[in-house]
Amino acid sequence: MSAQYDAIVCGGSFAGLAAAGQIGGRVLVIDRLPIGDGETSASAVPLACLENMDLLSVVEQVHEEIHIHTRRRTQTLRFFPFATFDYRRLCRELFDRTGADLLHARVVEARNGRVRTTRGDFEAPIVVDAVGWRTATTRADARRARAPRRSFGIESRQPFRGEGLHFYVGPSQGSRRFYWAFPAGDHLRAGLATYTGDSDLSKDLKEFCDRLEIGEPGHVHGGFFTSRWVDPIRDGVFLAGDSAGHCLPVSGEGIRPALVFGQLAGRLAERSRVGDLTLDQALSQYRAYVRSRKKAWDVLDRLQSVLNTLPDPLFAEFARAVGTRRVLDFAVGAYWRAADPDLLTPGRSATPLPAVPTAVAA
């Protein structure tokens, strides 16, 4: 590990691997776990993401419908096809495409071209922070750097076959639980999350599995995720994924934004590496594009705060209203553009970022 690196990517999951795949030269990926061993999510994403990245081989099941279950009714929605996928296979495929070196270590700090780890210090002109909600920052700066809305979810897998992505809305008690059941070929991913940071969810998960009549929860995985943004650059470092709060509020969808913004960060980092842009220019362009998408996050963030305490009958009416054609078409378009899967590519790309409004770029 004494080699000189052109870029260091902290984090070996969605955002980090998406970024590393866009950077040429010598790249080092640092993660405390083997690639593919750090699953914390339900591993479901719009099918277009996997199509555009040439990753259809990892798909376990495609779903055309989303079912929202409230106490009063079940609302069926058709947005765009989603797919549940094999997390381990996807991460390993992405890593193999990078050609990067891998270091198993915990990142202690990343700033200004220098990365401190539990296995030594490393330097590179370009650094990407994609380690998750903790961020690759010093202990003293942790509270400032972390995204302020911290949510928590857990999930287990049970033998089951079914169709459609199912969401179950828990009763309003000031800290509403949101449950899901995602079929994935020969098994079901059953889990729940809160947007208030409550992490004591094991009893709730058992009760949910009992209601579904699928037996005791098996192996449980999960963790914290963030859905309120921080500045996507810090101390000369690109931030992507949970490090930058890129999980969409309301839906809890974090994989698509991690892939999209991870690739965009890597694409701009590559332009800096080859001399098309200075590092400051690349960082500024990344920040400008991320900020141009922030309006959608702010709307969803406010909506999430309302839905968390909305009385159950009104939540059922909200789900019904979203299912109407006029609202659905508008909502789907805005939701898609928040982290546009059409920007994703299967390999390294020179595709420029979409134009950013002057007011936002400034």
The yes-or-no verdict on residue 121 having pLDDT over 80 is yes
Q: Taking the domains of the chain in order of start, what are their residue ranges? A: 7-46+85-147+227-309+344-361
The yes-or-no verdict on residue 46 having pLDDT over 70 is yes
Please, what's the b/e burial string for 315-333 (b: 16 or more CB within 10 A of its CB; e: otherwise)? Answer: bbebbeeebeeeeeeebee
Residue 3: pLDDT band with limits 50, 70, 90: low
If DSSP codes are grouped into helix, strand and coil, which group holds residue 159?
Answer: strand
Q: What is the mean pLDDT of the chain?
A: 87
Q: 349: closest CA among 271, 290, 287?
A: 271
Residue with tokens 């990407």: 128
Mean pLDDT of 222-247: 88
Highest mean pLDDT among 281-285, 330-334, 356-360: 281-285
Task: Give 328 or 142, the one with higher predicted confidence.
Answer: 328
The yes-or-no verdict on residue 140 having pLDDT over 50 is no
Q: Specify whether the CB–CB gap between 297 and 249 falls below 8 A.
A: yes
Which residue blocks in 128-240 are alpha helix, DSSP H? 142-145, 202-212
Architecture of domain 7-46+85-147+227-309+344-361: 3-Layer(bba) Sandwich (3.50)
Question: What's the CA gap between 174 and 358, in Å, rounded?
Answer: 40
The yes-or-no verdict on residue 362 having pLDDT over 50 is no
Mean pLDDT of 62-87: 91
CA triple 134-137-139, angle to 5 deg: 85
The yes-or-no verdict on residue 25 having pLDDT over 70 is yes
CA triple 196-199-202, angle to 5 deg: 130
Residue 63: pLDDT band with limits 50, 70, 90: very high
